[in-house]
Structure 1
Amino acid sequence: MKSPKAVIKDWLAAYNARDADALIELYHDDAVNQQVAFGAPICGRDALLESFVAFFRAFPDNSTHPIHILEDGEWAVVEWQGSGTFLGELGGNVPNGKSFTLQGCGFFHIVEGKIKFQRGYIDKHTWFAQLELPVV
């Protein structure tokens, strides 16, 4: 079974390839992804897959690069820097070709070699200001 750090390296590779199918294979069926800046968590693989597909469609050049990857027992933590260009509709927002760069941090609980829980922290105001989107 892969270590949490190895699972996160696989996650980063799938994420940067914008391969939603490979990405979702890293999650438990009942996984939860809570992005704190956006409120309610996304629950279950079907909903997670839908969110990844929508995000990759909106930001087809999105990339995320790890600054640090830490492991403690069943947990992995990633400090990252990412960027992308808003080229597809997302959440009712019309694409405008604006680009962003952003830093954030993600916590991943890895159980039996798969992601059971994920929590991410970003500065939504900084991200949306770069994209010229309203922060709501």
Structure 2
Amino acid sequence: MTSKDVLQQWVNTFNSGDAEKLAQLYHDDAINHQVNQDPVVGKEAIFEMFKNEFSTAEMVCIPENIFQDGDWAILEWKDPLGLRGCGFFHIIDDKIKFQRGYWDKLSFLKMHNLPIPTN
């Protein structure tokens, strides 16, 4: 499977809202670093992160572009509310080893009427 194929599988699974199935796409020691929060380390912690996020807000990833460069896949995305972002995925042996995402957390919180941290 190519890195682009794995990323497309990630998008489909993300959009299903199945945190357990999504976590299975990661290596046991994977890192998911959304730059507006601390890195999440390990498949179990990534599962917990997605489980919490899916229970907090309805999230939909609409790919605008998916690129591949060897073991790396890059996703430019938007959601139905107008939020945009991008993600970089290092994929080794058909599983995500490292993910870094860029998106505006304040806009996300406002769009979903979620509390805005004061600290």
1:29-108 matched pairs, under 5 angstroms:
29-38=28-37, 40-59=38-57, 61-83=58-80, 100-108=81-89
CA distance in 2, matches of 1:20, 1:30: 17
The unaligned stretches of length 5 or more in structure 1 are 84-99
* SS, match of residue 74 in structure 2: strand
Measured after TM superposition, the shift of residue 78 of structure 1 is 0.1
2:12 is matched with which residue? 13
Q: CA RMSD in A?
A: 1.5
Q: Which amino acid aligns with 2:21?
A: A
Q: Which amino acid aligns with 1:41?
A: P
Q: Would the aligned equivalents of 1:101 and 1:127 in 2 still touch at CA under 8 Å?
A: no
Matched length = 117
Measured after TM superposition, the shift of residue 132 of structure 1 is 5.7
2:2 is matched with which residue? 3
Q: Which amino acid aligns with 1:49?
A: F
Moved over 4 A (4+): none
Residue deviations 1:23-51, cap 9 Å, x none?
1111000000000011x200001100001
Q: Structure 2 length normalisation: TM-score?
A: 0.90
Q: Would the aligned equivalents of 1:30 and 1:116 in 2 still touch at CA under 8 Å?
A: yes
The unaligned stretches of length 5 or more in structure 2 are none
* SS, match of residue 36 in structure 2: helix
Measured after TM superposition, the shift of residue 124 of structure 1 is 2.0
